[in-house]
Amino acid sequence: MAINLLSIEPHKVSRDLSTYITYIYGAAGTGKTTLASQMDHALLLAFEKGYNAIPGIMAQDVSTWGEMKQIVRELKKPEVKEAYRCIVVDTVDIAAALCEKYICGQLGIENIGDGGWSVNGWAKVKKEFEETFRTISQLGYSLFFISHAKDKTFKRQDGSEYNQTVTSLSTAYDEIIKNMVDIFGYAHSVVDANGNSKVMLTLRSADNSVDAKSRFKYIEPEIEFNYQSLEKAINDAIDKEEKASGKADLFTNERGVKEIKELDFDEVKNKFDTIVTNIINTHSEEEMKTVWSPKIVQITEKYLGKGKLASQCTREQVEQLNLIVLEIEELIK
């Protein structure tokens, strides 16, 4: 897989809400799972059973991180990609706890902090957690994360304190998810002047009392919490962005999620074997000995280390093997 920077086309912003990575938190009963289930071809990964009253929802219960890893393998299948487009994680808090438990079992420790730097458990669990959801996104799925809310006290540099409503997810995992998302909002109930209750979604907080953000700079700071309102808010924000930019061709109604192809080890290895076989078959023994073999060895050692052979590559070294193939291909052009 070679990169050609001259083949890049301008990115188009999609009006399809199900294209985006969304992260919604709030109290139980505010309708987070219901809204998520309305995303296009949604599959709910139910780390907690909050879907019993939602008719027709496509839900897969998840009770261990080992099951989550099985699900990721399933999501790679072409027929599964046809069936689902948005993966809902409910709740991401439990997903993080199960990921942590999985890594503890892998390392043979009881708590993720046991063993200190020699074990480096925190780095391993964060890597596992991040890579799992990044893989799902790269497969072409959108993601919808659900969490609960809590109030937290923060201290400013001058020593004064302030309260902020934040997700219940622990900070290390919370930052991983927030770095991925396009829409991050807080769902909460409010009572109007007539005593009627409704659920609102905060997408921006002017006074910093609520942790929320959006990649859409023209989006309304607060809207009613339902699928139609969120879809309208995104499209209204895009309309304003389109008008400000004056470039209507950079906006589309089509789904904007694209699959990022993973390197296939067997495919890359077969390509390497084919290229080398062709070189052997089209050159004399003398040419192989004096020209081609030294060049192939030099390229291989550049990416694998002195004395290493491409035939010794493991599946974890597929990136290095691919670079070897690309460089040899450049030689024979």
When computed from its CA atoms, the radius of gyration of the chain, rounded to whole angstroms, is 25
CB atoms inside a 10 Å sphere around CB 143 = 24
pTM greater than the 0.85 cutoff = no
Q: Do 148 and 275 fall within a single domain?
A: no
| Cα–Cα dist 185/219, whole Å | 12
DSSP-derived pairing of the beta strands 59-61 and 42-46:
parallel
Domain boundary, last residue among 206, 223, 252? 252
Q: Do 175 and 112 fall within a single domain?
A: yes
pLDDT of residue 1: 62
Q: Do 145 and 290 fall within a single domain?
A: no
C-beta separation of 237 from 219 below 8 A: yes
- Per this entry, what is the length of the chain? 333
Residue 66 lies in a domain: yes
pLDDT of residue 66: 95
Q: Do 37 and 133 fall within a single domain?
A: yes
Give Cα 101 to chain centroid, integer Å.
Answer: 21
Please count the structural domains in the chain: 2
Residue 283 lies in a domain: yes
Residue 257 lies in a domain: no
| Cα–Cα dist 331/17, whole Å | 46
Q: List the one residue out of 187, 104, 185, 95 whose CA is nearest residue 136.
A: 95
Domain boundary, last residue among 252, 280, 303? 252
Q: Do 272 and 227 fall within a single domain?
A: no
DSSP-derived pairing of the beta strands 149-155 and 161-167:
antiparallel
| Cα–Cα dist 275/206, whole Å | 60
Q: Do 198 and 244 fall within a single domain?
A: yes
pLDDT of residue 86: 95
Domain boundary, last residue among 226, 252, 278? 252
| Cα–Cα dist 173/51, whole Å | 24
User: Hey, what amino acid is at 122?
Assistant: W
C-beta separation of 23 from 87 below 8 A: no
Residue 243 lies in a domain: yes
Q: Do 79 and 39 fall within a single domain?
A: yes
pLDDT of residue 30: 92
pLDDT of residue 119: 72
Q: Do 149 and 177 fall within a single domain?
A: yes
Range of the domain at 286: 265-332
Q: Do 23 and 160 fall within a single domain?
A: yes
pLDDT of residue 257: 64
Q: Give the tokens for residue 87.
A: 């993966």
pLDDT of residue 161: 80
pLDDT of residue 37: 93
Q: Do 85 and 137 fall within a single domain?
A: yes
User: Could you give phi then psi for residue 84, rounded to 5 degrees?
Assistant: -130, 150
Residue 258 lies in a domain: no
Residue 3 lies in a domain: no
Spans in the chain with pLDDT lower than 70: 1, 115-118, 255-260
The CATH number of residue 107's host domain is: 3.40.50
Residue 7 lies in a domain: no
Report the SS3 class of residue 127: helix
Q: Give the tokens for residue 32.
A: 């987070």
Axis crossing angle, helix 171-180 with helix 121-138, rounded to the nearest 10? 20
Q: Do 180 and 327 fall within a single domain?
A: no
Q: Do 245 and 155 fall within a single domain?
A: yes
Exposed, middle or buried by CB within 10 Å (0-12, 13-18, 19+), for 321?
A: buried
Residue 210 lies in a domain: yes
Q: List the one residue out of 261, 217, 258, 255 whose CA is nearest residue 19.
A: 255
Tens-digit pLDDT profile for residues 16-42: 888 899 999 999 889 999 999 999 999
